[in-house]
């Protein structure tokens, strides 16, 4: 069958990456491409790397233009998805790449995002236990945040199998595209090149409650999360180092074996062998999360490093993966596990 797909926010980083992926999807026909400030401009002007769509024009983001498609991807700023989704029928699969429907706790939404909480949709991280059954046949899906994807996959097996006490610490080094395609002094090349800078530290980052929500659902005791993001001079990629206190008696061999078994059937998660470490350049363009699992015996802590492309497994790839599951297609359609090198 052929799926007719519209992309709102098509000229942003998330939207353009969705277009790149679905352009190679065997079951997709690309319908409307919409934007706000870029309406009326051509894909050739805005996204010259999308050669196969060069003759297409960005239209205004309105319900009338988006209606009538089988699938609508929303690559819009936070707070803009709810109204559009309300006006699209239940026969349309709406996949939101913003945060509007990720959080189940309205107090967390109001604290970290402000405004009225629009509710929650099925959460688009298929690797969570039992999550695929919630995504199959769904007509509304909330794509996870990029940081929560790398952090959750890094600590999920340890929390599920009680390898650690859930006092979880994450440090994530990220490229600039995670901030979106907007003008900002702090993201200018002169500000970023040759520099590393932590930001939204000490629990202030909006992804804190999402990480806590994801992992807390699988813990028998309350989970604490300390998350520190660090901006690096990269266009894309997130390298996360996750640590937690080990439960007494857990060995390095047991920890590695637990992770290897947990992700054995997950085609988009790779537990690396031996001492091989994840690196962001290995996952550029791939819908892949690479992991390495170790035990720091002297500190009594589990150490897990994850690498993802924030625009693929962290956003657009996850969105396409979820579409495939919801519609009963091959989960890997339009996606690749292979990165781009050098």
To which residue do tokens 């050098």 refer? Answer: 342
Spatial contact of 72 and 92, defined as CB atoms under 8 Å apart: yes
Rounded to 5 degrees, what angle do the CA atoms 134, 138, 139 make? 155
Structure tokens belonging to residue 114:
């402000």
User: Is position 146 annotated as part of the catalytic site?
Assistant: yes
Q: How far is CA 83 from CA 78, 130, 229, 239, 306, in A?
A: 12, 29, 30, 34, 35
Query: Per the residue annotation, which of 97, 146, 289, 322 is the catalytic one?
Result: 146
Burial class of residue 325 in the structure, from the number of CB atoms within 10 Å of its CB (0-12 exposed, 13-18 middle, 19+ buried): buried
Q: Which of 121, 167, 174, 166 is nearest to 149 (CA)?
A: 174
Active site residues: 146
């Amino acid at each position: 069958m052929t799926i007719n797909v519209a992309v709102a926010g098509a000229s942003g980083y998330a939207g353009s990456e969705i277009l790149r992926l679905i352009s190679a999807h065997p079951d997709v026909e690309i319908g409307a491409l919409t934007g706000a400030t870029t309406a009326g401009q051509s894909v050739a002007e805005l996204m010259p790397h999308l050669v196969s769509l060069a003759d297409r024009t960005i239209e205004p983001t309105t319900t009338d233009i988006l209606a009538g498609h089988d699938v609508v991807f929303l690559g819009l700023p936070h707070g803009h998805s709810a109204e559009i989704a309300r006006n699209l029928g239940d026969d349309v699969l709406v996949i939101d790449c913003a945060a509007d429907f990720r959080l189940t706790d309205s107090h967390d939404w109001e604290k970290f995002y402000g405004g009225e909480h629009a509710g929650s949709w099925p959460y688009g991280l298929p690797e969570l236990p039992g999550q695929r059954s919630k995504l199959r046949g769904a007509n509304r899906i909330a794509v996870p945040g990029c940081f929560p994807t790398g952090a959750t996959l890094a600590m999920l097996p340890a929390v599920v199998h009680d390898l650690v006490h859930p006092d979880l610490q994450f440090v994530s080094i990220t490229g600039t595209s995670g901030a979106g395609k907007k003008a900002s002094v702090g993201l200018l090349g002169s500000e970023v090149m040759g520099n590393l800078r932590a930001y939204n530290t000490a629990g202030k980052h909006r992804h804190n409650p999402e990480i806590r929500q994801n992992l807390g659902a699988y813990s028998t005791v309350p989970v604490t999360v300390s998350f520190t993001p660090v901006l690096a001079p990269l266009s894309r990629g997130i390298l996360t180092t996750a640590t937690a206190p080990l439960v007494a008696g857990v060995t390095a061999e047991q920890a590695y074996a637990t992770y290897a078994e947990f992700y054995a059937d997950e085609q988009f998660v790779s537990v690396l062998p031996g001492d091989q470490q994840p690196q962001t350049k290995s996952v550029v363009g791939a819908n892949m999360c690479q992991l390495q699992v170790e035990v720091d015996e002297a500190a009594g802590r589990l150490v897990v490093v994850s690498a993802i492309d924030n625009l693929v497994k962290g956003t657009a790839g996850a969105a396409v993966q979820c579409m495939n599951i919801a519609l009963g297609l091959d989960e890997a359609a339009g996606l690749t596990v292979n990165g781009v090198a050098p």
